[in-house]
Amino acid sequence: MTDGMPRERDGRPDGDLAVLFARFAAERSGGAREVELAAWLLGRAVAAGDVCLDLRAAAEGAVDLPPGAGGPPPDLETWTRILARSPVVGAPGAASPLVLDAAGRLYLHRYWQYEDLLARRLLELAAARAEVDEGRLAGALTDLFPGGGSDPAQRRAAEAVARRRLAVVTGGPGTGKTTTAVRSLAALAAAWPGPGPGPRVALAAPTGKAAARLGEAAAALARELPPEGRAALPAAGITIHRLLGPLPGGTRFRHGPERPLPHDVVVVDEASMVDLPLMAKLAAALGPGARLVLLGDRDQLASVEAGAVLADVCDAAAGPLSGAVVVLERSHRFEARGGIGAVSRAVRDGDGDAAVRLLSGAAGEAAVLRPLPPPGRFEAALFDAVEARFRAVAAAGGPGEALERLSAFRVLCALRRGSAGAEAVNALVARRLSGRSGPAGGPAWFRGLPVLVTRNDPVTGLWNGDVGVFWPDPEAGGEFRVFFEGGEGGLRRFPPSRLPAHEPAFALTVHKSQGSEFDEVLLVLSHGPSEVLTRELLYTGLTRARRRVAVWSDPGLVRAAAARPTRRASGLADALRRGAAGGA
């Protein structure tokens, strides 16, 4: 047992898994401080969303060291030599708890496996040519994209979907990713080779809300398609978890390499939200000859869990993936020179000064910046800004109308906790609207209370990200139920006792808002600097608004966020560029 890492926290034995694993690694390595430090930093990195630890960056002082680390890390050459001698560290492919590759990336074994599996599968898909009737495809593309279409990149994307087993369509909000995907599927259906039915298609997304939006958008666009195109589209979108078929009691799925999915084409929307383990499991579950189509905005926040898969794939667009990645740049939603589109582009490009300048306009403009009231005045100012919006939800004529009104406006918070965090905002609005202070666990249920599901539940068919509203049910004698979109009649209803883990949804964190859009957004940053305030978070929050966004923040925090891109350590892009997985 070494003495370098902290043993207690707040007087209690430290239960931090990173610390415990670091001690285990050190004990198996003869007490080597260098192994303990590397294992601790790796555990912390994975918890923060990295797939691996970049030893070079750590050796150069780019990471914060734990208390009691016993000095700075050694130089990279010495560190890698010590790690390579440890019995808990192996080369790529070794059955060891830790994996060290030739580029100085240190992995937990299971994450190296996920990355290696995904890289191999994507390279296989990219190298394979998909069978298609070229004559019928040319005619379908001409019909669906007459004159090349208003955006030639959309036709290029459709060609990639039809001719390749891997196609990645990325672009900002309003660039037509979903429209392009639906038309691409129609073209593929028209050119599907051989007799019999057309392709079996799955429309999937990482959250229930995103899956519902994808299905609704596809259904609306299908009205303009020829019959074979309409027939190819499924009736609804589905979450990736439901598509794979979760098995009880763990993270395993019914579908995998031994029991592949039956679909010919799997389309994944909001792919930036999909973490490395889930994307690897999805890729492994594709059947022989199946196509994978990824849609998403690479500039949005990455997944909550480890990895930045979509960004890594887009970074590797040259080489073996050449032609598989198509970027849509023309926005059909936002103005080219002002408003939300201009602000979000400035943030995406890291130009905080331009973002602040564009936000500092008149009150009636589409994107405005206003000072965040200090903690002592925040509650009153916040409730004044949102009261009419949420009272209108409770005054709706029925649950369907209430859900529609709820989708028109939302408060988005950069932080979950803190004086301006989502938890505080939800508690404040619920308390004021209900007229009750409520117990410590929160206010009582009341008509119009929006509810966010925070855990997947195959039994009820409710999924993380689904939003419902508490409303009297005339079919149950006026008893209150929580209504969600979907199901027969357009609504599903559940007694509150049947819901999986959930919380109020007057305010969402920006992370939780991914996959959703609202007519108007109130984006609340924080009362002080925070590492959470990044370029991707600000960009994602801004682009959840279709028509108008008000940002409550100090201008300096906007500039700081735009200047702080998220960088997640990973070897996926390198493996895809090389055309070889395995980390050699």
Domain boundaries, the chain: 17-107, 128-333, 339-563
The answer to whether the Cα torsion of 48, 349, 205, 132 is positive or negative is: negative
Whole-number CA gyration radius for the chain: 25
Q: Which residues pair with 250 in a beta bridge?
A: none
Does 339-563 match 128-333 at the fold level? yes
Query: DSSP code of 465?
Result: T
pLDDT at position 164 is: 92
For residue 443, is pLDDT > 80? no
Residues 447, 394 contacting (CB under 8 angstroms) = yes
Class of domain 128-333: alpha beta
Considering the entire predicted model, what is its pTM?
0.85
Average pLDDT, the chain: 86
**Tokens linked to 314:** 């887009």
Beta carbons within 8 Å of 125's beta carbon, 6+ residues apart: 164, 165, 166, 283, 286, 291, 292
Strands of the 467-473 sheet, one edge to the other: 491-494, 479-485, 467-473, 450-453, 502-504
What is the phi-psi region of residue 10: left when phi exceeds 0, alpha when psi lies from -120 to 50, beta otherwise? Answer: left
Give the tens place of pLDDT for each residue, 174-190: 888 988 888 888 888 88
Pick the CATH number of 339-563 from 1.10.3720.10, 3.40.50.1010, 3.20.20.70, 3.40.50.300: 3.40.50.300
Give the tens place of pLDDT for each residue, 248-307: 777 789 999 999 999 999 999 999 999 999 999 999 999 999 999 999 999 988 888 888
CB atoms closer than 10 angstroms to residue 467: 23
pLDDT at position 374 is: 93
Closest CA to 330 of 155, 510, 126: 155
Residues 311, 302 contacting (CB under 8 angstroms) = yes
Give the tens place of pLDDT for each residue, 315-342: 998 889 988 999 998 876 665 556 888 8
Q: Which residues pair with 293 in a beta bridge?
A: 167, 267
Q: Percentage of the chain surpassing pLDDT 90?
A: 51
Residues 201, 264 contacting (CB under 8 angstroms) = yes
The model's confidence at residue 240, banded by pLDDT at 50, 70 and 90, is very high
Residue 422 to residue 450: CA distance in whole angstroms: 13
Residues 166, 126 contacting (CB under 8 angstroms) = yes
